[in-house]
Amino acid sequence: MQFYGTEVPCPLLLGTAQYPSPQILKDAIKASGVDVITVSLRRETADGSGAGFWNTLHDLGCHILPNTAGCHSVQEAVTTAHMARELFGTDWIKLEVIGHADTLQPDVFGLVEAARILCSDGFKVFPYTTDDLIVGEKLLTAGCEILMPWGAPIGSGQGLRTPDALRSMRAHFPDVPLIVDAGIGRPSDACKAMELGMDAVLLNTAVAKAGDPVLMAQAMAQALTAGRSGYLADPMEPRDMAVPSTPILGMAELA
């Protein structure tokens, strides 16, 4: 799997917020084996603890994917992205332009506009979007090479609310990396996303708020591996009727 030409062996991308302690965060990242971790520039610098936090993340040796979490306008998202590039020294940016305060659903109109601006500025944009095919096409036209459709509202743990829509995205964009972003609650949700043909899953709350974040991080990574293998194995389609696994031919005839 490659994101903008960078090889990423692990299909799990992990957020870094809401963990009980920095040590548990580090242990969870190591247990999961992730190669990419996401960081919110706005949130983590708000309490003045930024420098130590950045050093902790840098020591882990993962790719840093800054995000524009909390941005509700194009200008806000673009400005935050430029600040993140200067701070982290990376052109990668997870682009969020929130349009609804309760569901945190993306403002797809602002998202496409911000993506166009950032792509023209040399950013490698990872857009947090809905599972709408037309929005996906417009993001690709704007310069994005990856799409990140939501599974459910951020932090809800509802799993995949519209699996058919995700399946349609896979069929419509066969050569585009697809990352399910947000809504995953359990390892079974992550496994299902990979069974649908997604390339990766990005999650945060499901691990950070688990009773044992380290064990949950490991479980999520294992679920993704199983789901991907299941997809590649070309599973059987569901049937309306029972089909015996043992043929009737050759059975004993009892008088």
Instruction: Give the architecture-level CATH label for domain 12-233.
Output: Alpha-Beta Barrel (3.20)
For 72-109, what is each residue's pLDDT tens digit? 999 999 999 999 999 888 999 999 999 888 888 999 99
State residue 252's pLDDT score.
65
99 CA to centre of own chain: 19
**How far is 78 from 166, CA to CA, in rounded Å?**
28
Mean pLDDT computed over every residue of the chain:
90
Residue 149 parent element (H or E)? strand 148-149
Q: What is the pLDDT of residues 105-135, one digit of tens each?
A: 999 999 999 999 999 999 999 999 999 999 9
**pLDDT (tens digit, 9 = 90+) per residue, 142-182?**
999 999 999 999 989 999 999 999 999 999 999 999 999 99
Contacts for 255 with CB less than 8 Å, ≥ 6 apart: none
Q: How confident is the model at residue 42 (pLDDT cuts 50, 70, 90)?
A: low
Answer yes or no: is pLDDT of 53 > 60: yes
**Active site positions, annotated:** 94
pLDDT at position 55 is 74
